[in-house]
Amino acid sequence: MSKIFVPRFCTLSEVQSEYKNKLKTADDAVQIVKTGDRVHYGLFCGIIQDLDKALAKRVDELEDVTVYDSIWAYSEPPAIVQADPESKHFKYISTHMSGLDRSMNKQGACWFFPVQFRENTKLWAENVEKIDVAMMQVGPMDKNGYFNIGPQVAEAWGVMGRADKIIVEVNEKQPQTHGIQTTLHISQIDIITESSNNELPQLIAKDATETEKKIAAHIVERIESGTALQLGIGGMPNYVGSMIKDSDINDLSVHTEMFVDAYVELFKAGKITGNKNTHKGKMVFTFAMGSKQVYDFIDDNPIICCGPVDYVNALEVIAANDKVVSINSCLQVDLFGQVNSESAGIQHIGGTGGQLDYVMGAFKSRGGKSFLCTPSVRKNKDGSLVSLITPRLPEGSIVSTPRSATHYVVTEFGAVNLKGKTTYERAELLISIAHPDFREQLEEEAFNMGLTRKSSKVLV
């Protein structure tokens, strides 16, 4: 990191005095931002709100300001984008791309910053040219001068370690989170603002489709008691959770990058014991997003362990637990076993996140499995179908998980294990879970590409 973070000892009176001296309004706080600066807006549910609105007021007096965040999770664009929709003054950068980020990207108001999630702490600390001002939401200060970062430690310490100045926006609604490096001391902060205490953004998963329910069923039948679960967001992972809740699978643990509603429901059902090798009894994650019940569950809950992403997503840390099961969605899989989870051709859809971290970490785990899931087809506006099992990824597609790392691929027609398989075996297995309408065509393409023999039969 570019500077050392050692909180200094302060008496209660010193803490109170320092708080008063560092306290400013949001409008006054953002005066330290200068033309040409690079500014970080915070992480996930800790992204600032009042400071964003204050900075937007300065749009006409600033030039060439670059603003980063991890994922904009609110329903409206940042105030700086609304104030500067043509990006003449502010350039807005996302490391993941939410639905709103994608919309802004199409308008030329947001750009993507490719990352490998487990590397993010080092990336910010050592490889970004500079961060002039880091802003983040925190919970209220305690009597010892510590502010809780909330349920999004992730790469926060890399960002703060790189920043010349740190501004915190105090939000009383931030959950007080237990874990690793979850607090920031007043002596490490340059400016404090007290926010309007906005509600945290809620990420509500849609109900699972019939196709997603079939995919979930193929996964759940391969999950054993004693598993350490990593689930993503969305209807299908939540449905996996509901199927497990109604099954005889038990003695589960949580080691995941993202903590979501499904874990709360599984805990309430008595399915989660935390009986794993690392952080026994704890539910480990690096950030949380979901409904209000997620934030209420996390708040001051001693079984919660939120930690830095370079630790939580480290392959060796994931793999230290037995029977890790990782479940993530993807967009396309080609007959080589290459997985695209980020784009439709050159059209950007989402970031890599920690998918590869958990694909590799789960495989290293004793008895571990990773599942990459996609419907077999996509329906066009005219009603025609496009196969998402493809001979080759379309031009411009992003390889999120290389063929050497891919373990299980799942569609509504089944789950196939590509590990330990030759190129022709992989092609045949993938064709077997493609939509029946496309299997003959895929067989012909596989033969023309030299992946299979002409006499190959589709495996059933």
Digit-coded pLDDT (tens) for 134-143: 999 999 999 9
Angle at 114 (CA atoms; ends 113, 119), nearest 5 degrees: 115
pTM of the prediction? 0.94
Sign of CA dihedral 248, 374, 364, 121: negative
Read off the pLDDT of residues 261-297 as tens digits, 9 standing for 90 and up: 999 999 999 999 999 999 999 999 999 999 999 999 9
Distance CA 89, CA 80 (A): 9
Cα–Cα distance for residue pair 198/75, rounded to 1 Å: 13
Q: What's the half-sphere exposure (Cβ side, CA atoms, 13 Å) at 361?
A: 29
Q: How far apart are CA 261 and CA 263, in angstroms?
A: 5
* Domains, in order of start, for the chain: 12-194 (3.40.1080.10), 210-448 (3.40.1080.20)
In the DSSP assignment, the letter for residue 209 is P
Give the pairing type, strands 131-138 and 146-148.
Answer: unpaired
The lowest-confidence range among 179-183, 372-376, 453-457 is 453-457
Strand partners, 390: 334
Apex 175 CA angle, 54 and 207, nearest 5: 95
The average confidence (pLDDT) of the chain is 93
Q: Which helix (H) or strand (E) holds 258?
A: strand 258-259
Nearest in space to 161 (alpha carbons), one of 3, 40, 308: 3
Query: Which residue is it, tokens 């065509």?
Result: 441
Decide if pLDDT at 421 tops 90: yes
The two structure tokens encoding residue 155: 């790469």
Q: What is the pLDDT of residue 10?
A: 77
DSSP tag of 227? P
pLDDT value of position 289: 94
Which residues are catalytically annotated?
A: 257
Task: Report the candidate in 140, 139, 131, 138 with the shortest Cα–Cα distance to residue 158.
Answer: 131
Lowest mean pLDDT among 2-16, 306-320, 377-391: 2-16
| pLDDT over 70, % of the chain | 97
Give the model confidence (pLDDT) of 64-96 as tens digits.
Answer: 999 999 888 888 999 999 999 999 999 999 988
pLDDT (average), residues 179-200: 96
**Least confident interval from 56-65, 93-102, 298-307:** 93-102
Task: Please write the tens of the pLDDT for every residue from 119-160.
Answer: 999 999 999 989 999 999 999 999 999 999 999 999 999 999
Give per-residue pLDDT as tens, 27-63.
999 999 999 999 999 999 999 999 999 999 999 999 9
pLDDT at residue number 7: 73
> Is a pLDDT exceeding 90 seen at residue 325?
yes
Instruction: Fill in the DSSP letter of residue 7.
Output: P
Buried b (16+ CB within 10 A) or exposed e, 437-453: ebbeebbebbbeeebbe
pLDDT of residue 2: 46
Radius of gyration of the chain (CA): 23
Question: Distances from the Cα of 42 to the Cαs of 19, 47, 104, 134, 412, in angstroms?
Answer: 21, 4, 18, 7, 38
- Residue 455's pLDDT is what? 45
pLDDT over 60 (residue 457): no
Return the bridge partners of 38, or none: 66
- The two three-digit tokens of residue 82, written as one number: 């609304």
By three-state DSSP, how is residue 255 classified? Answer: strand
Structure tokens that stand for 387 in this block:
């196969």
Q: How many CB atoms lie within 10 A of CB 106?
A: 11
